[in-house]
């Protein structure tokens, strides 16, 4: 019962105290227990909603209320990486 | 001194300056190149014959103090698509033309003999100089020699060896601020049109230039201030923002997570090795090896998405590695090493090849068994075939569709003969509608900018919802206008979210032209430009049957989304149809 979490840009520093200079995203396998939505993941890592931009749950462009299922891959990008054809996307929310 | 047109007849080797026609007064960039091409080029002409023309036009505000506005449009009939083409680039070349008050350079006629020429443009006039000594020479060496001969302050446009082969995959090259041949109006084979006319280079010296004429300084200054403030405050465009920090390549990880980053000649939409060539990775590497990041493509850019990528140790600068180039020469060929991608990009710049077309071509050659997927050294050898002008090299220089035919490949990602950029239309269907319907052939920039909100279209769309015609149309109209102003499309990120920025952009154009345009005019002006382009294509023989994606993208699911391109034909036909 796990979720694959990927953190990009400065959100990597939420996990590593030292600045990462590899340029690679942080990939974590986290327990599904206690996590229902994207918001729960943000809370778990002390990430404010305002610090994020694009969130993908298994490739689906998602909002904070998107339900997260066992085995999902969740990717979270920081605020300043909001570089996307955002008008092609509609955030999927469950709440 | 009013604006003028510089007309160059390569059959007679004559240059002349003409008055800028009053009916063109409000035109610049793409609006001007497409208007001139539609008026002067017969749509049924051979793109490499005497009746095609090549038109260079800076944007309306280009060369002025307007921020992030150093774009140049290059137009003609494309030898790749057989339709009208506008390709654009960010370069000081454009600003110098703007300040010399040259609204357009029109190159016409055909190569007279075996000789190549260089067009030298100064405030005193223009002349053609023999340029045979640079034929067959790579553009890095040629640009270095040209700067030695004509001075470091000149701007240079050129066509490379791929152009000399009349390859439909060749682009028109421009200098970056270090004088490297790294800024390309790459798409559509216009480098071959330039070479077909015997024109190898244009060298511009702005000494004594009068500068851009501003009809109303007050409106212009107020407008540019609003726009600059928007660019300076938006998270994507501000100093330290996404584009300055990581460049366009920041999209690698994002589009990979959207499952829309094509891998291995469009066989999948995601591969975790893509992170090895991401913008984040590249920014760290540039820091370590002593390249430059951020870096403006032209003076006066606030966004500064460009960079100077080098070999390890800061040696042998390449120029910028853009997202599209990194993707086409990287993941699309199963190559996941930045140094490999950098050397392939260097080869493209040196040979005068469009990186998107070249990467898609290599991937199709890999699928055809010429070399293995992931074989970066093999890919560089293929580039050498072009340099040596071998028969294989001539096939490759002609692009993806031609190479697919030559090697019996059926999975060929092209529309109207032009290869697709770095967004899989199965996972991101809106871009697929743009690929299918733009008059340019598969082109991401044609529907890149200006959100639905500005155009008054309600709501945003789900990327996997096939109803996309209205969205794509409005994006295409707005883009045609931005491409005419001289502003970079990336200004859209800021002006989308900050309405004063968009007002400022329009006001700056009014300031230059002495016009009274409003934000509401954008759609109408965009439609006028696109209608000219569509009409040219209709006369060149295009029908709605050409506005389709290849069969394999409609039938073959792309893992892991397992989506196909399922936008119905009638939805595609609604984009510009009745």
Instruction: Point out the residue among B250, B270, B461 whose CB comes nearest to the CB of A81.
Output: B250
Q: Chain B interface, mutation test: which of A59, A61, A89, most B Cβ atoms within 10 Å?
A: A59
Longest CA pairwise span in chain B (Å): 62
**Which chain A residues contact residue B470 at CB under 8 A?**
none
Contacts of residue B268, defined as CB under 8 A and 6 or more positions apart, other chains included, come to B262, B558, B559, B560
Q: How much is the average pLDDT of B204-228? A: 98
Question: Using one digit for the tens of pLDDT, what is the confidence trace for B365-412?
Answer: 999 999 999 999 999 999 999 999 999 999 999 999 999 999 999 999
**Tens digits of pLDDT across chain A (95 residues):** 899 999 999 999 888 766 777 888 999 999 999 999 999 999 999 999 999 988 999 998 888 999 999 999 999 999 888 776 555 556 677 75
Longest CA pairwise span in chain A (Å): 37
pLDDT at B452: 34
- Strands (DSSP E) contained in B109-236 are 117-122, 125-130, 155-158, 172-174, 183-185, 199-204
Name the closest residue on chain A to residue B432, using Cα atoms.
A88
Q: What share of chain B is helix, strand, coil (3-state, %, to 5)?
A: 45, 15, 40
DSSP state of B519: G
Name the token pair of B391. 């028969």
Is B278 in Cβ contact with A22 (below 8 Å)?
Answer: no
Q: Which residue from B194, B156, B202, B206 is spatially nearest to B176, judged by alpha carbons?
A: B156
d(CA B243, CA B251): 10
Q: What share of chain A is helix, strand, coil (3-state, %, to 5)?
A: 25, 30, 45
ipTM > 0.95 (yes/no)? no
The total of structural domains in chain A comes to 1
In 3-state terms, what secondary structure has residue B40? Answer: helix
Q: Domain containing A80: what range?
A: 2-88
Task: Give the pLDDT band of residue B65 (cuts 50, 70, 90).
Answer: very high
Is A21 in Cβ contact with B257 (below 8 Å)?
Answer: no
Interface residues from chain A to B (CB-CB < 8 Å): 6, 8-9, 21-25, 53-54, 56, 58-59, 61, 75, 77, 79-90, 92
pLDDT at B341: 98
CB pairs under 8 A between A and B: 102
Question: Using one digit for the tens of pLDDT, what is the confidence trace for B101-156?
Answer: 999 999 999 998 899 999 999 999 999 999 999 999 999 999 999 999 999 999 99
pLDDT at B446: 77
- Residue A39 within any structural domain of the chain: yes
Instruction: Point out the residue among B257, B269, B493 whose CB comes nearest to the CB of A83.
Output: B493
State whether the Cα torsion B556-B356-B376-B262 is positive or negative: negative
Question: Using one digit for the tens of pLDDT, what is the confidence trace for B239-278?
Answer: 998 899 999 999 999 999 999 999 999 999 999 999 999 9
In 3-state terms, what secondary structure has residue B221? Answer: helix
Q: How much is the average pLDDT of B85-96? A: 98
Distance of CA B382 to the CA centre of its chain: 23
The whole-chain average pLDDT of chain B stands at 94
The share of chain B scoring above pLDDT 90, in percent, equals: 89
pLDDT at B92: 98
User: Tokens 């002067």, residue?
Assistant: B40
Domain ranges of chain B: 4-204, 238-389, 419-489+514-573
d(CA B553, CA B158): 35
d(CA B252, CA B302): 23
Beta carbons of B132 and B34 less than 8 angstroms apart: no
Beta carbons of B481 and B474 less than 8 angstroms apart: no
pLDDT at A17: 66
Residue A40: give its domain's CATH number.
3.10.20.30
Question: Using one digit for the tens of pLDDT, what is the confidence trace for B485-543?
Answer: 999 999 988 887 888 999 999 999 999 999 999 988 988 999 999 999 999 999 999 99
Instruction: Note the helical H segments in B446-556.
Output: 469-485, 491-497, 499-513, 522-539, 551-555
pLDDT at B453: 30
For the domain made up of B4-204, give the CATH fold.
Answer: Aldehyde Ferredoxin Oxidoreductase;  A, domain 1 (3.60.9)
Beta bridge partners of B64: none
Is B40's pLDDT higher than 80?
yes
Question: Using one digit for the tens of pLDDT, what is the confidence trace for B533-575?
Answer: 999 999 999 999 999 999 999 999 999 999 999 999 999 999 9
- Residue A75 within any structural domain of the chain: yes
User: Tokens 């871009």, residue?
Assistant: B431
**Which chain A residues contact residue B471 at CB under 8 A?**
87-88
Beta carbons of B168 and B87 less than 8 angstroms apart: no
Instruction: Point out the residue among B282, B428, B493 whose CB comes nearest to the CB of A88.
Output: B428
pLDDT at B431: 87
Is B452 in Cβ contact with A9 (below 8 Å)?
Answer: no
- Residue A12 within any structural domain of the chain: yes
Question: Using one digit for the tens of pLDDT, what is the confidence trace for B441-485?
Answer: 999 877 753 333 323 222 345 667 777 788 888 888 888 999 999
Beta carbons of B197 and B117 less than 8 angstroms apart: no
- Name the CATH architecture for the domain at B419-489+514-573: Orthogonal Bundle (1.10)
Name the token pair of B164. 């000399």
Beta carbons of B269 and A68 less than 8 angstroms apart: no
pLDDT at A54: 87
Instruction: Point out the residue among A59, A75, A83 whose CB comes nearest to the CB of B236.
Output: A83
- Residue A36 within any structural domain of the chain: yes
Is A83 in Cβ contact with B251 (below 8 Å)?
Answer: yes
Is B193's pLDDT higher than 80?
yes
pLDDT at B462: 65
CATH number of B238-389: 1.10.569.10
């Amino acid at each position: 019962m796990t979720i694959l979490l990927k953190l990009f840009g400065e959100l990597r520093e939420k996990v590593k105290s030292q600045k990462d200079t590899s340029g690679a995203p942080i990939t974590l396998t986290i327990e599904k227990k206690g996590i229902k939505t994207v918001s729960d993941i943000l809370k778990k890592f002390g990430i404010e909603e305002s610090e994020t931009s694009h969130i993908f749950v298994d490739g689906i462009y998602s909002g904070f209320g998107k339900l997260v299922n066992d085995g999902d891959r969740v990717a979270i990008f920081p605020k300043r990486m909001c570089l996307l054809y955002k008008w092609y996307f509609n955030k999927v929310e469950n709440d | 001194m009013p604006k003028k047109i510089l007309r160059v007849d390569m059959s007679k080797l004559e240059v002349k300056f003409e008055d800028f026609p009053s009916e063109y007064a409000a035109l610049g960039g793409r609006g001007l190149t497409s208007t001139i091409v539609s008026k002067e080029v017969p749509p049924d002409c051979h793109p490499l014959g005497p009746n095609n023309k090549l038109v260079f036009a800076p944007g309306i505000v280009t060369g002025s103090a307007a921020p992030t506005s150093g774009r140049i449009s290059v137009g003609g009939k494309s030898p790749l698509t057989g339709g009208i083409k506008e390709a654009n680039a960010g370069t000081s070349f454009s600003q110098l033309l703007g300040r010399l008050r040259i609204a357009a350079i029109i190159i016409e006629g055909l190569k007279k003999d075996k000789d190549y020429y260089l067009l030298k443009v100064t405030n005193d006039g223009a002349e053609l100089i023999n340029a045979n000594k640079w034929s067959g020479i790579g553009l890095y060496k040629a640009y270095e020699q040209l700067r030695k001969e004509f001075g470091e302050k000149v701007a240079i446009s050129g066509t490379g060896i791929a152009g000399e082969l009349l390859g439909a995959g060749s682009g028109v090259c421009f200098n970056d601020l270090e004088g490297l041949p790294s800024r390309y109006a790459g798409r559509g084979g216009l480098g071959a049109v330039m070479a077909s006319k015997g024109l190898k280079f244009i060298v511009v010296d702005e000494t004594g230039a009068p500068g851009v004429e501003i009809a109303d300084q007050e409106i212009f200054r107020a407008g540019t201030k609003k726009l600059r403030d928007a660019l300076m405050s938006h998270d994507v465009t501000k100093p330290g923002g996404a584009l300055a920090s990581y460049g366009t390549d920041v999209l690698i990880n994002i589009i990979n997570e959207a499952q829309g980053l094509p891998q291995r000649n469009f066989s999948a939409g995601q591969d975790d090795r893509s992170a090895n060539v991401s913008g984040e990775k590249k920014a760290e590497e540039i820091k370590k090896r002593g390249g430059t990041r951020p870096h403006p493509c032209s003076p006066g850019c606030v966004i500064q998405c460009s960079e100077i990528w080098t070999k390890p140790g800061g040696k042998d600068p390449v120029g910028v590695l853009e997202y599209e180039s990194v993707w086409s020469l990287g993941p699309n060929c199963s190559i996941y090493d930045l140094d490999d991608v950098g050397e392939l990009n260097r080869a493209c710049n040196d040979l005068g090849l469009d990186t998107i077309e070249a990467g898609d071509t290599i991937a199709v050659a890999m699928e055809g068994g010429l070399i293995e997927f992931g074989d970066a050294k093999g890919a560089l050898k293929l580039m050498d075939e072009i340099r040596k002008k071998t028969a294989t090299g001539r096939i490759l220089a002609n692009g993806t569709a031609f190479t697919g035919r030559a090697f019996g490949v059926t999975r060929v990602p092209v529309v109207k003969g032009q290869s697709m950029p770095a967004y899989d239309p199965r996972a991101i269907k809106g871009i697929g509608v743009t690929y299918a319907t733009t008059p340019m052939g598969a082109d991401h920039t044609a529907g890149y900018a200006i959100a639905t909100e500005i155009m008054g279209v309600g709501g945003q769309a789900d990327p996997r919802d096939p109803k996309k015609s209205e969205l794509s149309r409005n994006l295409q109209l707005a883009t045609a206008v931005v491409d005419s102003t001289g502003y970079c499309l990336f200004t859209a990120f800021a002006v989308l979210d900050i309405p004063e920025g968009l007002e400022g952009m329009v006001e700056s154009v009014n300031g230059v032209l002495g016009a009274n345009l409003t934000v509401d005019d954008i759609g109408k002006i965009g439609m006028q430009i696109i209608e000219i382009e569509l009409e040219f294509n209709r006369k060149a023989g295009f029908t709605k049957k050409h506005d389709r994606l290849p069969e394999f993208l409609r039938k073959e699911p792309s893992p892991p989304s397992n989506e196909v391109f399922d936008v119905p034909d009638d939805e595609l036909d609604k984009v510009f149809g009745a």
